[in-house]
Amino acid sequence: MNKIYVTRPLLPNFEAYISEINDIFVSQWLTNMGLKHNELEEKLKNELKAKNCSLFNNGTIALLTALKALDLPFGSEVITTPFTFAATPHCIVWNNCKPVFCDIEPDTMTIDVKKIEQLITPKTSAILGVHVYGFPCDVENIDKIAKKYKLKVIYDAAHAFSTEINGRGIGTFGDITMFSFHATKLFNTIEGGCLTYNDESLKRKIYNLRNFGIQSEEVVEDVGINGKMNEFQAAMGLENLKIYKEEQQKRAKVKAFYDENLSKIKGIKIPQMPKGVTNSYQYYPIIIEDDYPISRDELYVRFKKQNILTRKYFYPACHDYDCYKNDLAVKLADLSIVNDLKHKVLCLPYYGNLEDKTIDFICNFITKGGKNY
């Protein structure tokens, strides 16, 4: 069997993309907020139902800028989850703040709001929640906590493009939300990302931080970095914006096939979206329970021998990294749910053009615990 990856990048029709970038060659405007950039920014604002949208060259730079734009005090603490990609806590540290790891709740695998308040100290400045696999954080209760303690709220929505809660765009909660448009994401601009936010006054600040602080040829207002999305990325985004919903529909069918077959297997748990939440269809995670015949790691290895590349996402958890694990607060932290689930979650291959025979093979493989192959 040829290698089956956990995902495949969404690509538009080749001729359509060539037509899109032809305009770039004609104009010779390759970057610095060109026509494609501005068009995509406006269309994404509408697609995400956001009041404001600022494009970036990647999600990490976007998240770095989000934290910087909120003027978090030097050395302050930001409560976040260790069950996320490395960029989440790294961006906190790059902003001269300290990540404080909070445990997760077992069903959505997002930050546990019941455990946030006990971590708040006079040094706490913000909460950074992650919508893991597209499962939304408990935004309502996080908002209540933030208002009670006068904290900023940032969301990492790298997995949650187009997710809505009761019809409201996921990027309209909190102070700022970051979306990633990396090639592995449902909607991609090759590399890229954006910030959405409700406060109009943040727009100028974010613009400055994204563009070296430059306002004009002779005016530099702030200490910014280069976070600009180029025109070729924006062109890819404009074309993918036309087709991502079709990809979601295909993934919905893959999910239905997986759900029907894997739900019958003892020891396999399939997390499901809460009511009122639209699914981004970014990943398909399963949880390998203790009563399944083999461990998650063994199943992962057996899949790999069949050229099926699943993903132990997220293992290790961020608090296990060498750059964090020796911190005394990390050593003393109650992260029991994370420490359990990091050994149990497995993301299966999940993309629209995944062949039925491959899905069937994967389901049978899990049914038999990887035996007889």
* Residue 223 near residue 213, CB atoms below 8 Å: yes
Query: What's the chain's Rg over C-alpha atoms?
Result: 21
pLDDT at 180: 98
Task: Specify the long-range contacts of residues 355-359, CB closer than 8 Å, at least 24 apart.
Answer: 356/257, 358/1, 358/4, 359/254, 359/257, 359/258
Helices assigned H by DSSP within 126-230: 139-149, 202-210
Q: What are the residues whose beta carbons fall under 8 Å from the beta carbon of 79, sequence distance 6 or more?
A: 100, 102, 111, 116, 119, 120, 124, 126, 127, 128
Strand partners, 364: none
Dump strand ranges (E) for the chain. 52-56, 77-80, 98-101, 124-130, 152-156, 164-165, 168-169, 176-180, 193-197, 214-216, 219-220, 268-269, 284-288, 345-348
- Regarding pTM above 0.85, the answer is yes
Q: Walk along the chain (373 residues) and give the pLDDT tens digit of each residue.
A: 789 999 999 999 999 999 999 999 999 999 999 999 999 999 999 999 999 999 999 999 999 999 999 999 999 999 999 999 999 999 999 999 999 999 999 999 999 999 999 999 999 999 999 999 999 999 999 999 999 999 999 999 999 999 999 999 999 999 999 999 999 999 999 999 999 999 999 999 999 999 999 988 899 999 999 999 999 999 999 999 999 999 999 999 999 999 999 999 999 999 999 999 999 999 999 999 999 999 999 999 999 999 999 999 999 999 999 999 999 999 999 999 999 999 999 999 999 999 999 999 999 999 998 786 6
Cα torsion angle, 292, 295, 299, 302, sign: negative
- Tell me the backbone φ, ψ of residue 350, rounded to 5 degrees: -155, 100
Number of C-beta neighbours around residue 168 at 10 A:
13
Strand partners, 3: none
Number of C-beta neighbours around residue 221 at 10 A:
15
Q: What are the residues whose beta carbons fall under 8 Å from the beta carbon of 245, sequence distance 6 or more?
A: 162
pLDDT for 119-175, tens place per residue?
A: 999 999 999 999 999 999 999 999 999 999 999 999 999 999 999 999 999 999 999
Domains of the chain as residue ranges with CATH: 14-238 (3.40.640.10), 244-367 (3.90.1150.10)
Number of C-beta neighbours around residue 98 at 10 A:
17
- Hey, what's the torsion of the CAs at 237, 129, 325, 73, to 10 degrees? 100
Task: For residue 285, give the amino acid letter.
Answer: P
pLDDT at 70: 98
Residue 34, sorted as left (phi over 0), alpha (psi -120 to 50) or beta, turns out to be: beta
32 alpha carbon, distance to own chain's centre? 26
Task: For residue 41, give the amino acid letter.
Answer: E
Which whole-number Å values give the CA distances from 132 to 120, 183, 194, 289, in the listed order? 22, 18, 17, 19
